[in-house]
Structure formats: structure tokens, C-alpha cells
């Protein structure tokens, strides 16, 4: 589950859904599952995760390379797609609640979203 620190609300919809859907069509289910598996292992190992720092700069030969290929080898679009994959993955996980926002590091704005495990998340109001 995802909880927006900025809006003080749980997030249940993927932003930029049309972009995600367009890029998702260009990656096989097996490749996508491999990305999810790698991300889940990484996320399980850390209580704080900054999306853009996870894959590194050179995706050649990694599980993330198909994301780059799916976006027509466009680095910027691949980064956006990767960010949406991380967002969706954390939004759909039910084992923990993750807060998220944009933050600075050493006085510089971090370009990607940072996610952190919430130990005492706010109560979630569910609609009937």
C-alpha cells in the first residue's frame, strides 16, 4: 500500500496509466515478472528506497534492460516507466504500507520518488 505524505491519503490509482499501458505492451510477461522479482527482493532488503537509484546507470545485461528496449531505447522514457513500475508494485503490495515523496540529498533535489516503510501508518478508511 502507498500513502502520500503530501496529500495525507492512500493512493489506489497509478498515475500516468496510459503511458504505463503503452510501454507495458512492449515487454514480455516473463521479462516483467523478472523485474518485479528483482524489485521485490531489493525492496524487502531496505526500509528506504529511491526509485532512480535502484537500477544503476547502465542497464545493459541486467533484468532492467527490457524496460529500456520497451521504451524505444529512450533513457528518459525508460526511467519514467521504471518509476511507474516501482510505484505500481508498492501500491499493490499488502504486506506493508509505504510512504513516499520527493526529497533532497545534500541540498540537491532527488529526481525520482523516495519510498519508505511506515511503521505506524494512518488508519485506512475503506468504502463499503
pLDDT digits (tens, 9 = 90+) for 61-110: 999 999 999 999 999 999 999 999 999 999 999 999 999 988 888 888 88
The closest alpha carbon to 80, from 111, 105, 35, 56, belongs to 111
What global pTM score does this model have?
A: 0.91
pLDDT at 126 over 80: no
| Alpha carbon distances (Å) from 61 to 7, 65, 66 | 38, 6, 9
| Alpha carbon distances (Å) from 114 to 18, 22, 53, 127 | 23, 24, 9, 28
Amino acid at each position: 500500500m502507498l500513502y502520500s505524505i503530501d496529500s495525507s491519503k492512500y493512493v489506489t490509482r497509478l498515475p500516468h496509466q496510459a503511458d504505463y499501458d503503452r510501454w507495458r505492451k512492449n515487454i514480455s510477461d516473463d521479462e516483467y515478472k523478472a523485474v518485479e522479482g528483482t524489485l521485490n527482493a531489493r525492496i524487502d532488503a531496505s526500509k528506504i528506497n529511491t526509485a532512480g537509484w535502484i537500477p544503476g546507470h547502465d542497464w545493459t545485461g541486467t533484468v532492467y534492460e527490457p524496460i529500456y528496449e520497451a521504451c524505444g531505447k529512450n533513457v528518459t522514457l525508460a526511467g519514467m516507466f521504471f518509476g511507474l513500475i516501482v510505484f505500481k508494485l508498492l501500491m499493490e503490495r499488502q504486506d506493508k504500507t509505504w510512504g513516499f515523496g520527493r526529497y533532497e540529498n545534500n541540498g540537491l533535489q532527488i529526481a525520482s520518488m523516495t519510498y519508505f516503510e511506515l511503521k505506524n501508518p494512518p488508519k485506512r478508511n475503506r468504502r463499503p
